[in-house]
Amino acid sequence: MAIPFTVYLLFLFNLLAFWTLFSSATLFTVQNHCRFTIWPASLSGNGASLGNGGFELSSGSSAQFQAPPGWSGRFWGRTGCKFDNSGSGKCITGDCGGILNCTFGGVPPVTLVEFTIAGGSTDNKDFYDVSLVDGYNVALGVKAVGGSGDCQNAGCVTDLNANCPVELRVLDSGSVVACKSACTAFNTPEFCCTGDHATPQTCSPTQYSKMFKSACPTAYSYAYDDASSTRTCSGSDYVITFCPTGL
């Protein structure tokens, strides 16, 4: 029996729409170069959660996810996690309410990589950065693959836990497992860029953010560190690496 022409057109339209979405999707590759297991987490600001919000990634392994045009969100690594078969448990750093599949952000201090993906137009840009504004728990880097434009790498390769000031340290069994931001540690306007310090003119780098910046020059060190930290690229895929060896 012949297929009605309208049905045929509808099939072609749906096929074209699927192909367009697939071809314009951004591919994220998340890889673990640490000597220990990482439990990456993701949180979307405007749509689908990638990787169901969180997953286990053993040392030396990787995972891939596709994000649609216009997606925005963040990834971070959790360490020292234990989950049962239902996905309930706890992480020493980066915990998001005691569940494997995060539905909200991780508890600071945590190293973040943040993305705003272009909406699909060829002259639009992706924006991305690695942030230490919420502190540091594990080394993290991101590089653009196959895009055009600026497309610089970003990240923090240095182990900040090894040189974390005493007043910023998070300890577990006597070992430093994370390094707080000054905002998290002291919660004052001058460190958090709030209140009378809520503008770039009134919130300057502090001794702590300068220390972070010196160790990790391509990462956000405080709220208004945009100029030297935000990266842009067009039409790129991205590789996110925990414990990268270089940027």
Query: Which tens digit of pLDDT belongs to each residue from 220-246?
Result: 999 999 888 999 999 999 999 999 986
Determine the pLDDT at residue 124.
86
- Environment class of residue 159 by beta-carbon count within 10 Å: exposed (0-12), middle (13-18) or buried (19+)? middle
- H helix runs in 35-194, sequence order: 182-186, 189-192
> For residue 3, is it within any domain?
no
Q: What is the mean pLDDT of residues 7-25?
A: 44
> For residue 116, is it within any domain?
yes
Dump strand ranges (E) for the chain. Answer: 26-32, 39-44, 62-67, 72-78, 82-83, 89-90, 112-116, 126-131, 140-145, 154-156, 169-172, 175-179, 231-233, 237-242
192: helix, coil or strand? Answer: helix
Please determine, for residue 11, whether its predicted confidence score (pLDDT) is greater than 60: no
Retrieve residue 173's tokens.
């069994």
> For residue 122, is it within any domain?
yes
- Counting the structural domains of the chain, the total is 1
Q: What is the C-alpha to C-alpha distance for residues 125 and 231, in angstroms, rounded to an integer? A: 10
Q: What is the C-alpha to C-alpha distance for residues 107 and 211, in angstroms, rounded to an integer? A: 22
Q: Percent of the chain at pLDDT above 90? A: 83
Please determine, for residue 194, whether its predicted confidence score (pLDDT) is greater than 60: yes
Torsion angle in degrees (nearest 10) through CA of 227, 93, 101, 90: -170
Determine the pLDDT at residue 226.
83
> For residue 164, is it within any domain?
no
What CATH number does residue 31 fall under?
2.60.110.10
CA-closest candidate to residue 30, choices 243, 187, 239: 239
> For residue 15, is it within any domain?
no
Q: What is the C-alpha to C-alpha distance for residues 3 and 79, in angstroms, rounded to an integer? A: 56
Dump strand ranges (E) for 110-156. Answer: 112-116, 126-131, 140-145, 154-156
> For residue 172, is it within any domain?
no
Retrieve residue 197's tokens.
């310090």
Which residues on adjacent β-strands are paired with residue 38? 57
> For residue 196, is it within any domain?
no
pLDDT mean across residues, the chain? 90
pLDDT confidence bin for 45, thresholds 50/70/90: confident
Structural domain span for residue 137: 25-158+215-242
Q: What is the mean pLDDT of residues 89-95?
A: 98
> For residue 41, is it within any domain?
yes
